Structure 1
Amino acid sequence: MKNLLANDGWRGMHATRTTNGIVQSRSVAAILFAGAISIAIATWVCFRLGAGVAVVGFVYLIEVLLVSLMGSLVSSVAISVIAVGCLNFFFTQPLFTFRVDAQQDIVVLTAFFVTSFVVTFLVHRTRQLAAVHREQAQLLDLTHDSVVALDMNDVITYWNSGAEALYGWKKHEALGHVADRLLHTRFPAALEDIKKTLIETGRWEGEIVNTRRDGSEAAVASRWALVRDEQGRPIATLETGTDITERKRVEEALQQVSRLTSIGELGASVAHEIAQPLAAVATHGAACLRWIDRDVPDLEKVRASVQRILTDVQRATEIVRRVRMLAKRIAPEMTRLEINELISDVMVLLQREVLKHNVALRATLASKLPAVLGDRIQLAQVVTNLITNGIQAMSTIEDRPRELTIKSWRSDDGYVIVSVQDSGTGIDLRHADRLFEPFFTTKPEGMGVGLSICRSIIDAHGGRVWAENNPGYGATFQFTIPVIGDSGSGE
């Protein structure tokens, strides 16, 4: 049975090849016949007009070129040979014979044949390259990712079917437009900084937000590659994009869950922090009543008590503001912010949690750090997650101090770096590659979303996050955020 099927398959392939061969032979014969007729007509017209060898040779070259554009290499070479024969027989002395007496005519005929052969070969090679390019373009159209080519002025020169499906514009509608103007692109960093990185390294990756033709927004994981010519000069940019809109929706939902979970875990600490100023307000309020109920009210002491009440109310309001900063679920808003100020806000919010776990929290924040472009709520969540993660990593430590150190500084390549270093058990090397995977956790009660959310937030801000074990005890988690402009540095 297997042999029978194999024989049937072989016969089918053989029949297909035979059919293709017959079709190709007929095509070559048809082109050869048409070319021969064309040569004959051109010969008759030139002979009747008394054209010279040079003119006839030029006409024949046009004929050879047209045949080369139409058919195979075989038909083109055959037409070249026929053209040389006609040029010799009808236009070279003695006429109507293939004998050539003059050496000059031999040179002319040889030059014509070589020229026609070169033209034939070049056209054939050009057709081959064009076919390869068409096949490559068809392959690019098979991918679901968008593939867009831009010149050095960001003008679209190629737009595949994946881009059509993602953004809604057809190829002929997108070509010739400036990409970021057509798509109203929102970049995670200044476009000038992105282009600088592209020129220096030859590539760039990041998450961008583009606007579709229908007005909806698409989150895209974008990868850029710089194309250079033989002299090394940049000539184009190839941009591939993966639609991650749905993934970002899921991540945002997980971020909200993580934020609310963090607030739940910090509930006792928040209640304690709010209870202190409220108790002080009650105390100062009672004092005010005593000063007012006197026969001669002591207005100075009343004023002082009221001032203390206002101060304590401000303290409680600030605590509520910080909690709301974590609990809000709003669209990301990229604004100019000071990273040290954000770290300080989170540290105050987590102060009770730090004391509860007997952790010594230290901060070494560089002065005069440049501002960064980021979403305050999201970056506060990253810092909160990393500090909470460090506190939990030291929960079982009894033989050494529980120390948590937060540092910030500016790198030489234009980033602000924040690190959170603990003295806990460190990272199990078996799990090091999976730390930032969604839903991966080594804690029995953990959800496995905290570090994954940190990575997605930092990636969206054009930075990166990583972790490594310390030389002694514990681990250090670090992340980077691009700075805005060049507004100074600090150590």
Structure 2
Amino acid sequence: MTASGTQQLRLLWSDLPVRRRGALIIAIPILCLLTSVVAFAALQRSNAVAQQYVDHTQKVLLYANRLLTALVNAETGVRGYALTNRPEYLQPYDAGMASIPHTIEELSQLVKNKPEQEQRVREIQSLSQRKIDIMNQNVARLRAIQQGATDTFRLDAQDKITMDAIRRQITDFSREEEILLSQRKQELNQQQVITIGVLGTTVILGVVGSLAAVYLFDQLDRELAERQTGLRESNIRIQAILDNVVDGIITINEQGHLESFNKAAGMMFGYEPEEVVGKNLKLLLAQYFSGDSVQTLNRFVGNDYSKIRRLQETVGQRQNGTVFPMELVFSEMRLDNQHLLIGIVRDITERKQSEEILRKQATLLDLANDTIIVRDRHDLITYWNQGAVRIYGWRKEEAIGQLSHALFKTEFPQPLEEIQEVFQEEGYWKGEVVHTKRDGSKITVSSRWSLQVDDDGEPLAILEINSDITDRKKAEEDLRSRAGELARLGSILVQTNTALEKRNQELDQFAYIVSHDLKAPLRAIANLSTWIEEDLPGQSEETQHNITLLRSRVHRMEALIDGILHYSRVGRVKASVEKVDVANLLAEIVDSQAPPPAFTISVQPGMPTLSTQRLLLQQVFANLLSNAIKHHDRADGTVTISVQDQGNFYEFAVADDGPGIATEYHERVFEIFQTLKARDTAENTGVGLSLVKKIVEAQGGSVRLESQIGQGSTFRFTWSKSAPRSEELEVMS
């Protein structure tokens, strides 16, 4: 055998499984033994057959000799009887007559399958019968002579001829059988030699086979030892890998029971390996599965293992009862004729959270009014949000994969090549372009491009955000078209403001003149009434009443003129802004009002300090307090002042327990010169509350009345925490 053939044989031998090689090694001595037994049995059978042939031939010779001996003895007996006339000499004759037919019959049976010998037996039988007949005749004649017959006895020459013929036939027959016997003895000897040789060969083969088996067993034992060592090292490496791998790895038998559990799986589920080995797979699952462990396993691998290597999601359960989403995939493995399933488990909690975040972000992107598009390096659309659907009209499946500039029929503000050159250099571009929507209408968009690159700086994609500015562009165009009109209106407003300022100056001058020129006669009338009262002693009650009524009318007229003057100046007179402590301000106002001794004015705590025009706030509180005291129906009335924080404003309330005001008069009381009582019953100008309303509204606040008949009245007004700018005051005025 060549070296390559030997090498191939070794490779073929080493490729065989250990179990099969062991079986073949055991089969070598057994095969040698069986071969020896079979060979020995076959040779023994051949020897037995050869011996049978030898014995058969010897038996044929024996019967042939026996036949010849019987004939010779019979003839000798006849001759002895003839010589002695004594009957006892016929005993060999009688014995021969009895055995010769049987012997001939046996010879016929022994040479039945040999045609030539059968022919000789038939001839011997014929000659023997002739000889028997002759001897029978001779015996009969001898007996007749012995009984007194006159014949003499003489041997017939034919008797000798027949006997000689029988001897020749038997000799030829025996010679043929002896030749055959010699051949068969030679064959028997050869067979015995072969048997000895085969037995020796089988012994040698048995020894060689045993030595080969011992050698191969030794080699196999060494190989198994090496494999065992390698397997231990491999197991150590595999266990190290399994213990350091991120994913959990478990093995399950066909009955659905856990066989092994790596460290990652232990950390994932909170079990030690010895706590779960042999337990049902259900132990690790949060979902309830009816049926036994095999049925539970089949839900993941399929009844015919159709789900093998299929990634599945399920819910796991830790030892402490908490649940978590996990991925599970099974594969098959056979180990020592045991069918195992290897499961790889991965905790996907973070991935699910990330997916949820991405889903929410994607939802936010879809909720965005702007168009958000992602293009690849070839300007093919790969992402299309709902904002793009709303603006352009194309559905996502219609737009993805399209060339963006061709789809939009984009009209660029400059050549596309220049834009792309700037974009490649800076990684960003912003500009206004015109796009065509699905319905054919055109829109102007503010387009912003950002280049997305990988870690190596290679371009990955282009993020494009488009905002529809069509309406803004139209508005800008409208603004430009109306710029002249606005300029003209501005000029008119300047002229109007100039005229208003002039009118305000005239009003101020008029108010001053009215105040001065009207008050002078009133003061003169008041003085005259005093002089008349002093110069006319003994006046009647009616005269005294009329003089008093005259002076009251003069004073009311003066108050009315002052009220008109104050009302006209509200919003036009610029008072200085200062820090005002409202509590101190109210204390000063209460002192100046001089209410009746039994009257109570209560200021609630928590009054603020704010920056405002002190004089205006003082006028508001003074008018409200004066109104509450003057129109109260009792001398022991009560007025309460409180405040609430309303964000940018304070809401002040001035509440009394007076007679109250009917609902239908709640708006009327704020009108100028309006009073609810006759002039003769109560001195009132009707200017105070209208002045309050004008001041409060000029400061950006509001005032309202809450009142019912018999339940008192509450005036609430809001006052800004910070004083309005001068231009705001002018606008409000």
TM superposition score normalised by structure 1: 0.34
> Which structure has the bigger radius of gyration?
2
Greater RCO (Cα-Cα under 8 Å, separation 6 or more): 1
TM superposition score normalised by structure 2: 0.24
